Amino acid sequence: MATTLNEKLVIQWLRERAKLLTQTADALECGAMPSGGKNEATPPLNGLGTITLASVKELVSKKDQRVKTLAKHFSVQPYEVEKIIDGPDSGLVRGNRGWITIKK
């Protein structure tokens, strides 16, 4: 059975792979090489933490944060933080250089 690849399918496939690679890089960044460049990888975060929009807003209202920092704080994967930030009524925005801020 032959499948015809069109531009839309190729773009969709590339975007899915890019998202997966970004998530993998974020996970490595959070868990690998924690001190002094030594390869003492910490165990990967497995989503055991709890994160809510209210808890993220509370932390961000005190000081602007980055996704990686929030993920580490709440012991969750970075994509879980991104889902909350990118929610339609989150009240949070990505500011300059990746800083998460309260929408004004």
pLDDT value, residue 25? 78
C-alpha 67/C-alpha 94 separation (Å) is 9
pLDDT along the chain (104 residues), means of 10: 75 84 76 48 57 91 91 88 88 86 87
C-alpha 16/C-alpha 28 separation (Å) is 19
Q: Is 2 left (phi over 0), alpha (psi -120 to 50) or beta?
A: beta
Backbone angles phi, psi at 102, to 5 degrees: -80, 135
pTM of the model: 0.53
**Exposed / middle / buried, residue 81 (Cβ in 10 Å: 0-12, 13-18, 19+):** buried
Residue type for 2, please?
Answer: A
Consecutive H or E run containing 7? helix 7-31
Angle at 63 between CA 40 and CA 88, to 5 degrees: 95
pLDDT value, residue 59? 92
